[in-house]
Structure 1
Amino acid sequence: MELNRRQILKYAGLVSEPLGPDVLVTVRIDGELLKARIPTPFSLGHDSTVYVGFNPDRLHLFAAADGTALRAPQLA
């Protein structure tokens, strides 16, 4: 999947986990699981529709095989 700043994609949200000031949301995209940290308040029912947009400058990417960090945002 190519990431584009202007593209907003529609998917089914699977799980939301409250984590204090944030909610960890899991979404299945093209057969892969994506986890996003969203500021509260945010609520999601199982299989709710979510709209996902990406800012490539803020993505953290990890290897599926072993969890090794592949890319992390550079702090200014």
Structure 2
Amino acid sequence: MEMGTNLRIAYAAAWCEPVFLIGYIIAFSVLGWNHPPPSPRFDARPLVEHYFVPHDQQIMLGRIIRM
């Protein structure tokens, strides 16, 4: 390969890490509703009713993107 091609591939590979990291953080914390974590005072039923049910589609989308 030519030197210019190798350099372009190296730049593309170097930019993959920050793009992945930002995307993963967004998918995990924002879309997955993991930040801030749910209150420890919730029992199972209130946790599901107030945390998971209202945001189930967004949580599922965050999980799909993380995969």
Does the TM-score normalized on the shorter chain lie above 0.5?
no
> Could you tell me the TM-score, scaled by structure 2's length?
0.21
Q: Which has the higher helix share?
A: 2
| Larger relative contact order (Cα-Cα within 8 Å, sequence gap ≥ 6) | 2
Which structure is larger by alpha-carbon Rg, 1 or 2?
Answer: 2
> Could you tell me the TM-score, scaled by structure 1's length?
0.20
